[in-house]
Amino acid sequence: MDRAQKEKLVEELGQIFESSGVVVVAHYAGMTVAEMQDLRSQMREAGGSVRVAKNRLAKIALEGKPAASIADLLSGMTVLAYSEDPVAAAKVMDAYAKTNDKLEILGGAMGETALDLAGVKAVAAMPSREELIASIVGCIGAPASNIAGAIGAPASNIASILSTIEEKAA
């Protein structure tokens, strides 16, 4: 890698550290290419990405960025998982680490907040952005359906009362 390529990589990593909602750092020693491809595809489906970069270049890219607290985690064979959704990358990494012993989550960062292993697991347990939106829409829609039911109920009650009166009269 020549100097220009390294500068470009540092710039790309800097953008990742600045714009991501969450960055998760893990060791991947012993993982096969197929396992790494599986992790990458799962992360893509969730809206995130996986990146392997030289630790020295990643530390340079972290300087002055909100996620600078993860610089201490960058040693050995590390992989970076990141997503704009503050929960997606943590969910995928946590789920994958449960099925593959070779992936060891070290920690991460959520903006300026440093996360240890327990912090990443706590973030992974949170509902995703889509789940939150669905629950908010459900809460907003529930009163409307209750109003519609309340408006429709008296009419059905009146109809049943009228039919009962008609049967008695007959």
In this predicted structure, the answer to whether residue 128 has a pLDDT above a threshold of 80 is no
Q: What tens digit of pLDDT does each residue of 27-66 get?
A: 999 999 999 999 999 999 988 999 998 999 999 998 888 8
pTM of the complete model beyond 0.75: no
Single-letter code of the amino acid located at 151: I
Mean pLDDT of 67-95: 90
Query: What share of the chain in percent tops pLDDT 70?
Result: 89
Beta carbons within 8 Å of 109's beta carbon, 6+ residues apart: 17, 22, 23, 66, 67, 69, 70, 115
- Tens-digit pLDDT profile for residues 3-21: 888 899 999 988 888 888 8
Least confidently predicted of 85-89, 92-96, 164-168: 164-168
The order of strands in the sheet holding 113-115 is 48-51, 78-83, 22-27, 104-110, 113-115
User: Which pLDDT score is estimated for 137?
Assistant: 79
Q: pLDDT at position 157, please?
A: 66
pLDDT attached to residue 44:
93
Q: What is the Cα Rg of the chain in Å? A: 26
> How far is residue 151's CA from residue 106's CA, in Å, rounded to a whole number?
56
Please state, in angstroms and rounded to a whole number, the distance separating the CA atoms of residues 6 and 1. 7
In the structure, what pLDDT confidence band is assigned to residue 82 with cuts at 50, 70 and 90? very high
